[in-house]
Structure 1
Amino acid sequence: MDSNKDEALKCIEVAQKYIGEKNKEKAKKFLYKAEKLYPTQLAKDLLLQVSIMPDSVETEQPRRRKASLPRDPSPKQLEYTHEQLALVKRIRSCKDYYEILCISKDATDGEIKKSYKKLALQLHPDKNKAPGADEAFKAVGNAVAVLTDIEKRKQYDLYGNDDDRVSRSRSSGHYSRGFEAEVNPEELFNMFFGTGFGSNVYVRRGGRWQRQTQSHQHDERRNRENPNNGMSAFVQLLPILIAVLLSMASSLFISDPAYSLSVNTKYPVLRRTFHLQVPYYVKENFHSEYQGSVRRLEQTIEDEYVTNLRHQCYRERSYREASIWKARNFGNDDLYHKAQKIKTPSCETLEKIQNYGTL
């Protein structure tokens, strides 16, 4: 006990030293230690004195500042490269469509489309996440839509460099220069990259963009060179028209089909094919009226059923992919998760048929 008392007195002496230095925390530490070793009234009085002391500015302030600093062990990684950001900034700083596409004012349609394809692939929202990439992508699409239209390009060459028009359009952020494209940037992108571009040319008919093949171009050129081609074309089509009319007339005398894939009042009796168990419906007098091969009929039904499933599966997948892209483009996590959960029942049924040969 005497040794504990001596140690307690030493702790009190150290605590008194820290009290003189106004170091409240360390004084408390040694006083609590002294009380633990050998309780004394002196230690209790000193603890009371320390408790009413103001906090030390030198010791407390740095500790609080250090505790308030957030810890970030790993820096946030950018979702875009410096080259992508530089390209976006260049497009947004351009003054006209020719500068946007990096082409001269006498550039051909082929050069315009070639430049667009290169820039559109670099600026598409799915690939370029740099700030302002969406606006740059729209600017490139608007540029090619205007410059590949003969009339709009003429008007743009006449009025596109007007300072007032440029300042108004730049303040709106659409790079329109008073000319608005008649096609959505995504639709324009799909027209260039969704189908083969090599042998196709996109023209406007009735205010809409349409794909024109080389054969169509050849027919239009031939019609312009020979105005009488209209009558000759009608004469050539006359046999086809007669055949169509005869087919329509003969269809009036054709009996009803032997089956239906959906139930109705005319086809109320349910049957299933032998191989895939596909449900189909027939008339009540099917056994007495139908004289053909039932096995061959069911093969036709299964082929039609599988073809319908393929078309429905394609539509279901297209809808889900479009919903996912839309949610990702708007940065909406809830919509993105909902889009991922969209069911494709036709695709699942088709997969079962392909894997197991049965429903």
Structure 2
Amino acid sequence: MDPSVTPEQRQLVAQILKAKDYYETLELAKGADDDEIKRAYRKLALKLHPDKNKAPKAEEAFKAVSRAFSCLSDADKRAHYDRTGYESRDAAATANAGRGGAARTRSGPFGPMGGGAFYGEADIDPEEIFNMFFGAGAFGPHRVYRSHFGNPQFAQRRARTGAPPSPQEQQRGAMLGLLQLLPVLLLVFMTLFSGSADPAYSLQRDAKYTQGLATTRLQVPYYVKHVGEFEAKYGGTGTHGRTALERQVESEYYEGTHLRCQQERMTQHRMYTWGNRAKAKAMPMPGCDELLSLNDRLGIGRGGQQRVSVY
């Protein structure tokens, strides 16, 4: 037993791992506001970071706190979580599939769809969240989180010595990163070489796609080569083929807008954390504004929150 571990540290880890939901994880009431969520995360993250807390399973508790903060600090995820107990439909489908359920189709606000980003636990980087609050050097200059969590042997050795990663460990980390990228590279390769036929539409006007249209439901603009040829293939407004294609247009546009909003929030969060609070609060967020508009048109609630910005 590590003599540096206090009873309070062990008790905190056990408490976090026994929590039944994200609010209990962060020791919050369900009506907590953004400032309360941030304060709760700051307090727990400092106590649970594996470089500070060497209690067994402190690493798991630190990840749990990061997941809870990532969900509850995002207005979209929090509203969905409050309604369903999952931070997204994808997370629910994955959980059901893991339990042997039938929900294996990825879906979004437009119904089943085959592509797009996955907003779930796999996307959460606890160290990136921690660094935004406390800075990359919070516990010393040699902390390398991805190796720390990806390589248990290295984590154990660092816990004893505080040594930086060896060249061999760095090489293993690079190989692990490459292996994680392989599915993405394969998808890009298949997209580029699966055939020579051009897509039916583009979300941006260019030299090929010059004629503009808009979806019937959400008025999302898109462009085709020739309206006549397009309608001959997919039908006119309201037909089954045209409606199916317009749902695909809207799905692609929604996910692109969601990604833009996430990037804007991350930029705003960094700006706020680095001390530029006034600038962060005044920062334009067109992607988040458009996402809010889309959600309103789709009838997706936002837990009563009218402003997308977290500040």
Looking at CA atoms only, which structure, 1 or 2, has the larger radius of gyration?
A: 1
Question: TM-score band (shorter)?
Answer: 0.3 to 0.5
Higher relative contact order (CA 8 A, sep 6+): 2
Task: Give the structure-2-normalised TM-score.
Answer: 0.39
